[in-house]
Structure 1
Amino acid sequence: MGEEESLKERYIQLVKLEEKRLIAQQSLEAIQKRRKERHDKNLKTYVIQEGDLVLVYDSKYYKFPGKLQTRWAGPFKVVELNSNGSMQIQDLGEECAPVKVNALRVKPYFK
């Protein structure tokens, strides 16, 4: 094989390799999209507005769960909703909490 032929052959191999990488990337993205849709389908979404009562998940018992340990603290009143998915809460004694809480860590409180 001459020098030009070997360069053309190598170029063809590189093009085929790039095509295989592109196909693998598209396949991986499709798999990840399906996996995300399946996961998101199982998430519970609550509509929480300002003034609602909520319970907050207490993660300190995450690694050592006891049978009778309560994992939800509250009820708390929602004072402010933020666009990034967090909320400012206050207990029923009208004292504001020192930190904002992620909306995924709360669930509605029903009397």
Structure 2
Amino acid sequence: MLQLAELDELHLDAYESSKLYKERTKRWHDKHIQRCEFKEGELVLLFNFRLKLFPGKLKSRWSVPFHVTKVFPYGFVEIWSEGSGTFKVNGQSLKHYRAGIPVQGNQVYKLSLPSSY
């Protein structure tokens, strides 16, 4: 009977330890989530989940820029593009599109062979 009582006590200790570990892990995960808020008219990129089925490891997993048409509560966003039309997606699969700075003029660099040749 004492061994059964000790076994139950070990079981309860393991359960409590597991519960504390899960709480700490959840707290750490929630702290590192980046919340993105989208506004109507912004440009966003959509993450392509299906790309891993196709070869090409250097291919970008982010689709062409979409326009945000409406923002719903609880993270849903309605986006639009000419090719695919309007549809709703989860806001976690979107990121803000930032256009690059245009290059002012062309610069030409002439390369020469190293002196050892």
TM-score range with shorter-chain normalisation?
0.5 to 0.7
What amino acid maps onto 2:59 in structure 1? Q
Q: Are residue 101 (structure 1) and residue 102 (structure 2) matched?
A: no
2:23 to 25, 29, 33: 33
* Equivalent residue number for residue 107 of structure 2: none
* Equivalent residue number for residue 51 of structure 1: 41
Q: Secondary structure of the residue that 2:36 maps to in structure 1?
A: coil
Query: CA offset at residue 45 of structure 1?
Result: 2.7
TM-score by length of 2: 0.62
Mapped to 1, the partners of 2:83 and 2:53 lie a distance apart of: 32
In structure 2, the CA distance between the partners of 1:95 and 1:60, relative to structure 1 (3 Å rule), is closer
* Equivalent residue number for residue 109 of structure 2: none
Give structure 2 stretches of 5+ with no counterpart: 100-117
What amino acid maps onto 2:88 in structure 1? K
In structure 2, the CA distance between the partners of 1:29 and 1:106, relative to structure 1 (3 Å rule), is same
Q: How many residue pairs align between the two structures?
A: 97
Mapped to 1, the partners of 2:60 and 2:91 lie a distance apart of: 19
Give structure 1 stretches of 5+ with no counterpart: 1-8
Query: CA offset at residue 65 of structure 1?
Result: 5.1
1:82 to 38, 56, 72: 72
Q: Deviations over 1:20-61 (max 9, x none)?
A: 655544332221121122333443332222221100001121
Mapped to 2, the partners of 1:51 and 1:94 lie a distance apart of: 17
TM-score by length of 1: 0.65
Q: Are residue 110 (structure 1) and residue 98 (structure 2) matched?
A: yes
What is the alpha-carbon root mean square deviation over aligned residues? 2.9
